[in-house]
Structure 1
Amino acid sequence: MPLNFSQARKWVIVWSLAAITFMSPFSSSVLAPAIGYINKDFHNTNPTVGPFPVSIYLLGYATGPLFLAPLSEIFGRAGVLTSSNVFFCLWHIGCALSPSLGFLIAFRFAAGVGGSGCMTLGGAIIGDLFPIEKRGVALSIWALGPLIGPTVGPLIGAFIAGSIGWRWAFWVVLMPSALITIILAIFLPETNHQVLIQRKTKSLAKELKRTDLRSCYEAQQSRKVSQLTILRIGMLRPLKMLLFAPMIFIQSLYVSFIYGSVYLMYNSIPPTFETIYGWGTGMSGLVFISIGVGYMAGLWVFSMLSDRTVVRLTKAHGGAFRPEFRLTIMIWYSFLCPLAFFWYGWAAHMRTHWIVPIVGLFPLGFGVIGVFMPTQAYIIDAYPSYAASGIAAFTVLRSIIAAFLPLCGPVLFKTLGTAWGNSVLGFIGVAMIPVPIFIYKFGARLRERYPLRL
């Protein structure tokens, strides 16, 4: 029973998950500063194709969860996670040795598919290991990767590309990722409660020679359904949860906009500081530290308040827990991202001292955490049996938007300028502030009125 694992074993698993979930999104952005070098090496002059090695990786993120999540719910999380991690590592070897831009793009897509495993299954595994009132801290540690990884990537990638060459970016990702994959393969047993009970049922049925034994999770008609049908239903589950669970769709859309805007900022910040403040590429990468510090501060506040808030509100409601209790923090955080867009955009436009727009990026990192983390915790709490598919649905939408929204950045800022371009993002963020308030007030009623049928 994963809930009964020793604390030492649980935290080895959590920190290992956090480490591999750092390396995967780190790989997503580490190549961004090297696009010019790659185009030069492969003699590419098409400005549309040039950024594809970065964007295509995120499309891999959108593809992998569609089958990795249901596979983990049917066959178990440990084997699926280890396989996807190995797949992730192997394709980085292919990326490092790519003979052409076309091969690099194809290999990056495959690496993104493998890298999506830890992003999709990490939260579900933590949900298997920890009870509701103790998940906040573990989720905060695991979430360091998806948020800090893309921020650190361009900073390190710029120095790698300018010194030892862009191909070394893949070796730098591969070496620690391979080590973490081995650690997880050793220390991570199966944690999916439903799969464990099914395995125990089969074992007892064979040992006792009884054909009437069935798992407590097993539906009456499930024995008449083929494994192929079960797999097909499972693979459609993330899309069905995204489309037919209003709470997942609304929150995923909100988080996807914030997440995509952050990737848009990753592409727009260096040109802004190079043109307005005359900084070099390496120096401009240091600006991302402000967002990273915001992430750290936001995670610390979330880890301190999330579980305590859930316990307090549960007691106040007579011991009746509701997943919507996770969203009270999100309500307050939702004001910070729009504030950051307005602050940063107008400070840079007015050519204030460079520290002013940099400080303005701190609320962006802080606010992203407060939107991203409660949403993941809410999905895990509201749909525990299908947590992996819920997280997959959440990951698919945000990855697609993060892949394509940054492509609008050059046109947006060229047409409207730094101030009004960022203000457009700010106004959209302001329009979305009521989302967590709406879900907190009406989410439970909507879940009861429109139950999810999978």
Structure 2
Amino acid sequence: MTEIKEQISKDENIIIVEELIQNSKEEKVNDLKLNPLNWSKNKKLFTLSLVGFVTTTSPIANSILYPSIIDITESLHTTKFLSNALISISTFFNGIAPLGWASYSEVYETRKKAYVISLLLFMITSITCAVATNIWLLLIMRGLQASGVSAALCIGAGTISDIYIPTERGTAYGYFSLVIVIGPIIGPIVGGYITDYLGWRWIFWFLSIFGSLTLISLFFISETYNSKISFTIKHDDMMKKKKFNPFLPLYMFKYPNVILINIYTSILFGIINIKTSSIPRSFKDHYGLSPSKAGLVFISLGLGQILGNVIGGKWSDIVLIKFKNRNNGKLIPEQRINSIWLGSIIIPLIFIAYGWLIERKVHISLPIILIFLSGFSVMTVYTSTSAYLIDSYPDQSASAISTHVFLRSVLTGIFSLFTILLQDSIGLGWMFTLLGAASLLSVSALIIVYFKGAKWREQQIINK
């Protein structure tokens, strides 16, 4: 009798173990199905498209106010300095706020909630801007508006990391970055027409309506954050030990490869910003173009940046796959930097040639061609460096990109302060020669990361 009971007990244990194994298998199958990396190609593309649509709010909102500054000055009886501060404060908060959104997204393991909260903030502040009766309220709300609209810039990178494998991220980020360059082209055009026909307040009514449309689109996006999947050792334990801190992503600046990559790309964006801000004056002084005709020059820059995003992203993935195959199928993020070398050498030459061609008043077509080439080259480099950060820190991709947005905004602001001073003191030729030299020297940051980046990342994992 005792032996029979023991046998029954053993059989029951076997059944329980088999059920546990079966449940474990089913759970793994379900995890694989739910894992965003295993989504269908169409679902990934649909998600990327909607995230891109949401992200358009940022560059459009930041640039749409340019044509209305004079009208705002007169309407609110304020100074030109305070009206121009509406643009400066937007740039400042557009660089600071992504740090907080990235921290929120990764500490609480969510992308979708960050999108929703940020868009709600954007809509509320846009409506408040529309009814503002004084410049001080408008300045405060403009800063909060930029804080809300900036979230998608870094959270979008996190979404790309969630749904695409490393050899697909360059192309995906290239398409995603299109909105960053298309927005500044569309924004001023829309803002100009709204200001002329409806008044500047309707710019903010338009933004609130546009924000509501992007918010509705989020109902069709699934949550992409998956804490169970990672290509490298996860830093989740460290993140969970910390409470929400809006400046938490700044800790990534202790990583040499992160800060060096960000310094290089931020210098490029700073120089591009100097070129962009100097276009109206340069083409007026040297070629006699009116403001409206000088504005058409920006089309060449926009077209170059659009093509640079698409082609640069694909080229980055092609190079990564090539070096991965050479390395017996082992993927090393630093291999992606091989797609940057040609562009990093051409860019300084383009900057230098551009300055001297305008200084010597060479036919207008040549500087316009160089503006196109500079936009193309810089964006091919940018998509590769951004993809490198995402590959290196897939679980903290939003934080990695937010550090770039932060440093880029700071350096761009500093560069902008000296643009007019340099142009008046030494002329365009020597100004862009100095900037080109700075760009060339900063390539050393890429070289250092290429040779030491893998070792640094291994050490970072050990230190965890």
For this structure pair, what is the TM-score category when the shorter chain's length is used for normalisation?
0.7 to 0.9
For residues 156-167 of structure 1, the aligned pairs below 5 Å read: 156-167=190-201
Cα displacement string for residues 248-275 of structure 1 (whole angstroms, at most 9, x for unaligned residues): 1011111112222223333221122223
The Cα of 1:131 is off from its aligned counterpart by 1.4
> CA–CA distance in 2 between the matches of 1:389 and 1:453?
19
Q: 1:239 aligns with which of 218, 242, 250?
A: 250
> CA–CA distance in 2 between the matches of 1:405 and 1:162?
32
Please give the secondary structure, in 1, of the residue aligned with 2:243: helix
Q: Does 1:64 align with 2:97?
A: yes
Q: 2:202 aligns with which of 168, 172, 179?
A: 168
Q: Does 1:363 align with 2:396?
A: no
**Aligned match of 1:300:** 310
- CA distance 1:67–1:60, change in 2 (3 Å): same
Q: Does 1:351 align with 2:384?
A: no
**Aligned match of 1:205:** none
Q: 1:4 aligns with which of 38, 43, 46?
A: 38
**Aligned match of 2:14:** none
Q: 1:179 aligns with which of 213, 216, 221?
A: 213
Please give the secondary structure, in 2, of the residue aligned with 1:332: helix
- CA distance 1:453–1:145, change in 2 (3 Å): farther
**Aligned match of 1:94:** 128
**Aligned match of 1:127:** 161
Equivalent residue letter for 2:426: L
Equivalent residue letter for 1:191: T
Percent identity between the two aligned chains: 30
Tell me whether 313-322 or 273-282 shows the greater mean CA deviation: 273-282
Q: Does 1:342 align with 2:376?
A: no
Q: Does 1:24 align with 2:58?
A: yes
**Aligned match of 1:211:** none
State the structure with more CA Rg: 2
Q: Is the 8 A contact 1:155 1:282 kept in 2?
A: no
CA RMSD across the alignment? 2.5
> CA–CA distance in 2 between the matches of 1:453 and 1:170?
48
Q: Does 1:275 align with 2:285?
A: yes
> CA–CA distance in 2 between the matches of 1:410 and 1:336?
25
Cα displacement string for residues 103-132 of structure 1 (whole angstroms, at most 9, x for unaligned residues): 222111111111111001001111101112
- CA distance 1:449–1:196, change in 2 (3 Å): closer
Give unmatched runs, 5+ long, in structure 2: 1-34
Cα displacement string for residues 176-217 of structure 1 (whole angstroms, at most 9, x for unaligned residues): 332122112x122221111899xxxxxxxxxxxxxxxxxx98
Equivalent residue letter for 1:266: T
Q: Does 1:429 align with 2:463?
A: no
The Cα of 1:92 is off from its aligned counterpart by 1.8
For residues 318-329 of structure 1, the aligned pairs below 5 Å read: 318-329=328-339
Tell me whether 429-438 or 80-89 shows the greater mean CA deviation: 429-438
Q: 1:372 aligns with which of 361, 382, 385?
A: 382
**Aligned match of 1:55:** 88
Q: Is the 8 A contact 2:157 2:398 kept in 1?
A: yes
Tell me whether 97-106 or 125-134 shows the greater mean CA deviation: 97-106
Normalised to the residue count of structure 2, the TM-score between the two structures is: 0.85
Q: Does 1:230 align with 2:242?
A: yes
Cα displacement string for residues 360-405 of structure 1 (whole angstroms, at most 9, x for unaligned residues): 1012111221221112111111111211111111221112223342
The Cα of 1:230 is off from its aligned counterpart by 2.5
Please give the secondary structure, in 2, of the residue aligned with 1:286: helix
Please give the secondary structure, in 2, of the residue aligned with 1:64: helix
Q: Is the 8 A contact 2:181 2:306 kept in 1?
A: no
**Aligned match of 2:10:** none
For residues 199-238 of structure 1, the aligned pairs below 5 Å read: 219=237, 230-232=242-244, 235-238=246-249
- CA distance 1:256–1:350, change in 2 (3 Å): same
- CA distance 1:382–1:196, change in 2 (3 Å): closer
Q: Is the 8 A contact 1:69 1:121 kept in 2?
A: yes
**Aligned match of 1:193:** 226
Q: Is the 8 A contact 1:151 1:291 kept in 2?
A: no
> CA–CA distance in 1 between the matches of 2:277 and 2:349?
20
Q: Does 1:332 align with 2:378?
A: no
> CA–CA distance in 2 between the matches of 1:34 and 1:266?
19
Q: 1:389 aligns with which of 366, 381, 399?
A: 399
- CA distance 1:332–1:261, change in 2 (3 Å): same
> CA–CA distance in 2 between the matches of 1:282 and 1:427?
32
Please give the secondary structure, in 2, of the residue aligned with 1:285: helix
> CA–CA distance in 2 between the matches of 1:162 and 1:405?
32
> CA–CA distance in 2 between the matches of 1:358 and 1:217?
46
Q: Is the 8 A contact 1:64 1:116 kept in 2?
A: yes
**Aligned match of 2:11:** none
**Aligned match of 1:409:** 419
Please give the secondary structure, in 2, of the residue aligned with 1:140: helix
Tell me whether 269-278 or 369-378 shows the greater mean CA deviation: 269-278
Normalised to the residue count of structure 1, the TM-score between the two structures is: 0.87
Aligned length: 426
The Cα of 1:35 is off from its aligned counterpart by 2.6
